[in-house]
Amino acid sequence: MKKQLLSASIALLTFTSLSAHATTYLSAKAMVDVQTGKLVQSPLITIDNGIITSVEQNKKPVLSKGDKHIQLLELTLMPGLMDMHVHLTSDPTVPRSERLGQSVPRMAIKAAHFAKKTLEAGFTTVRNVGAEGYSVIAVRDGINAGDIVGPRIWAAGPSLGITGGHCDNNRLPPELKYTSTGVADGPWAARVKVRENIKYGANAIKFCATGGVFSKGTKVGAQQYSYEEMKAIVDEAHMRDLPVAAHAHGTSGIKTAIKAGVDSIEHASFLDDEAIALAKEHGTWLSMDIYNTEYTLTFGEQNGVDEENLNKERQVSKKQRDSFNRAVKAGVNMVFGTDAAIYPHGDNAKQFSRMVEFGMTELQAIQAATINSAKLLKMNNKLGQLKAGFAADIIALKGNPLENITELEHIPFVMKAGQVYKNDF
């Protein structure tokens, strides 16, 4: 119980603005109601201690001493965006061979740098699904303490995986006897690894259910971890009330992870009708990174990506987009997840247009990155909407994203917990 409370307090720590006391009023040309898809004209949002206390229309604030009125009269307001699949420690422009020499402190500094870029792009909440050495947990805690700038972070710690699997490091010679931090074989070993991640501050858990594109020597669709191992991971995490993400490209791994009770399937590249039906039956969220393939196939070679990995990307890209389209048509739960790190951090919003191109309406794409992601994190009464009682995580943009989703690629104003972090208007 104490650990559950600790995780909850970490997650909620930044709901209070660092510059409390005075009331902030925010007025704008319009506001997107992400539940209804309606454009609300002339909103006035009142914010106290980082929390929205009222949302009204066609009102002017009555200011007391110390109060602040931010007027964005040509802009449209939205809740801060949420990306459920990022890797803040990784830089796509650095070849993987060079990354082998990076220390955990160096990774943490990278993550701090990319966290700021991500926030400034309008993403006020992210889920970091895997990083060595608890580096992103340290960055999250630094953000919560006000030492550095960045979004709210749900951090998974080191990703769990089998020996020699996608979440292991297979790029070093055997005589070095190196094994990635998250490797655990067998149900009880996997439970121990979940407990270890929680011990060191993880407020989410991620494991690899199949091979992957960017690992060495793994088949992208082949299942890794048995049902018994996956169930042990999920049960252990759920006892501590932590959400569980399963990296799964291949069909059998997707189905097994869903049956084991995971909260979200990451990538979900090779879906068949049964997998889609299972996801609907279990209420499983799909997080499908359908933009980054373009970056990889355009810039991967010059960034030092191995031919093995480029070939796997070619195998996955069209199949994943077809799966995305079929899942949307079937009404499967969907969140916004980009795998930021495979492409440059800060470009997260470029995925929105692909989600619309491959089957979503503009509103569905926006909901994936707001109310749906908040539901996945079990924070749908605190995050993802602009209404009283919710965190004052607010972005503003020039156009109407319900008509042109690419407007989300250019965010001039960002507020998190009532504090302005970007105002280029």
Record the pTM.
0.91
Predicted confidence at residue 214, as pLDDT, reads 63
Check the CA dihedral 359-361-366-368 and report its sign: negative
Predicted confidence at residue 181, as pLDDT, reads 85
The reply to whether 185 belongs to the active site is: no
Predicted confidence at residue 350, as pLDDT, reads 97
Radius of gyration of the chain (CA): 21
Catalytic residue, from 206, 231, 375, 416: name it.
206
The reply to whether 339 belongs to the active site is: yes
Catalytic residue, from 91, 263, 339, 393: name it.
339
Taking only the tens of pLDDT, the chain with its 425 residues reads: 444 434 444 444 444 444 446 899 999 999 999 999 999 999 999 999 999 999 999 999 999 999 999 999 999 999 999 999 999 998 888 876 677 778 899 999 999 999 999 999 999 999 999 998 899 999 999 999 999 999 999 999 999 999 987 776 767 778 777 676 889 999 999 999 999 999 999 999 999 999 877 667 677 788 999 999 999 999 999 999 999 999 999 999 999 999 999 999 999 999 999 999 999 999 999 999 999 888 877 777 777 777 777 776 787 778 889 999 999 999 999 999 999 998 899 999 999 999 999 999 999 999 999 999 999 999 999 999 999 999 999 999 999 999 999 999 999 999 999 999 999 97
